[in-house]
Amino acid sequence: MCFTLFLSTDKPVPEQMKENSSGGVFLSELTGQEKSAGEVFSYSHTYYVHSSDGCGCGFLKDGLTSEEIWVTLFDYYILVEIIKQLFMLKQDVELYACWYAEQSAHPLQSINISLDDLLENSFQFQEKVLYKLK
């Protein structure tokens, strides 16, 4: 089972954020069972966030070797760059992390976080938490 990360905004994201030209972090439209993730957000435009692993597992840091952690930290950096672009477009952003098939589960917690928080080496997305970006 894969870890999943969803991003929701108050407006549609630009098409170039939905392209996987580099094999890294990108957004995609929700399909099938993923569509239920939209139910946990305040905003109506929800996307699946792909890490360099192709799913959300690339955002997990537990158990990684010192070499593997660099790839994960880079994925976090690219995610922050995507969110910065959305902020420049005056978009509000929320993130929701969960295991696949639990995307419609009510969040256990809602946390306000900053982009700097996301870049902390100690930060890792927690299961069933709604993150409100400030």
What is the tally of structural domains in the chain?
Answer: 1
What is the pLDDT, as a whole number, of residue 22? Answer: 65
Split the chain (134 residues) into runs of 10 and give each run's mean pLDDT.
Answer: 94 87 84 90 95 93 90 94 95 95 92 97 95 94
Provide the pLDDT for residue 21. Answer: 62
pLDDT of residue 23: 66
Range of the domain at 41: 3-133
**Residues sharing a CB contact under 8 Å with residue 17, sequence separation 6 or more, in sequence order:** 26, 27, 82, 85
pLDDT 10s digits, 35-55: 899 899 999 999 999 999 989
In this structure, what DSSP letter does residue 126 have? Answer: -
